[in-house]
Every structure is written in structure tokens, then in C-alpha cells.
Amino acid sequence: MLTVADVPRHELAALLARHALTLEDVPAGAPIPGSYWGEPEAGVIGHTVYVRPDTPLHSALHEACHLIVAPRERRAAIHTDASASVAEEDASCYLQIVLSDEIHGAGRARMTSDMDAWGYTFRLGSAAAWFERDAEDARQFLLERGLLG
């Protein structure tokens, strides 16, 4: 499973910055603020995504995507649990797959594989199958909010 230490940090930070988010590094072994699933999973508080070197990249992108899909007026109040609905959860999963293409060494195939290995579950049995054949509602959600080109 790819970790944030396995990819160029500047690419991940720049990707988040384009969405008005900040990437905050936490020292190895230290507690991760705002982590819903516990260490080493990413945490979110307001406009900040917290990661350690051992944080899985899929986790960092997923939590960032929760902030991206949340209405701007709600972002500042988010702490730890960023999901407000099934639609936002699905949109976050879809967007993390799309955005993984912007990180050197990641990409959609690796992202969906890591999502499966972590335990994300989808009706069609895999993240890739869901993304390719069953995610039209998530895609539409993102299009309506101007989050996909």
C-alpha cells in the first residue's frame, strides 16, 4: 500500500492547496489529529489534512476529498468525521481515484487496488469495477459542483 512517504510530498501538498486545503505533517509515531480511523490514517480538522509518513496515500486523498466535496461553509466546522451523507462519501471515493492521477507513482489502478486492500466495499466487488461501471451518481454529484472537468 502506498504511503505519503512513497510519493512526492510537494505534489500532494500542491494538489490540496489547489482546493484551499493545507497538508500538515505529523512526526512518525505521534498521534494524528482528527483521525477518524486512528493511526496511521489521515485526520481532518477544518481546512487541514494531517498525515504521518506511514499514512496510506488513499487515506490522505480520501479525507482531503471529504473536505473538497463539503460545502465551503461547512468545511471550517469539520473535525474528524467529515462525511455528511452517502452521496458525499461516494463522491469522495470517486474524486480520490480521479485525483490520484495527479500524484507521481500513484494513479487510478494503484489507488483502487489500495482501496480494495484496505477494505473499502462496493456492490460490484472492487473499487475499480465501481468506478468504471457503477459510480454515475458520484460523478454527477461532482459535475454539479464543478469538481470535475
Rounded mean pLDDT of the chain?
95
In the block, which residue shows the cell 464543478?
146
Provide mean pLDDT across the span 88-115. 97
pLDDT in tens, 2-20: 999 999 999 999 999 999 9
| pLDDT confidence tier of residue 134, bands split at 50, 70 and 90 | very high
Confidence at residue 34, expressed as pLDDT on a 0 to 100 scale = 97
User: pLDDT digit string (tens) for 47-82?
Assistant: 999 999 999 999 999 999 999 999 988 999 999 998
* For residues 28-41, average pLDDT: 96
Residue 18 confidence (pLDDT):
96
Residues 6+ apart with CB under 8 A from 98: 108, 148
Contacts of range 65-73, beta carbons closer than 8 Å, 24 or more positions apart: 65/91, 65/92, 65/93, 65/95, 65/96, 65/99, 66/92, 67/19, 67/21, 68/19, 68/21, 68/92, 68/95, 68/147, 69/95, 69/141, 69/142, 69/145, 69/147
Q: Over 80: is that where the pLDDT of 149 sits?
A: no
DSSP 50: E
Give the three cell numbers for residue 34: 482528527
Mean pLDDT of 19-39: 96
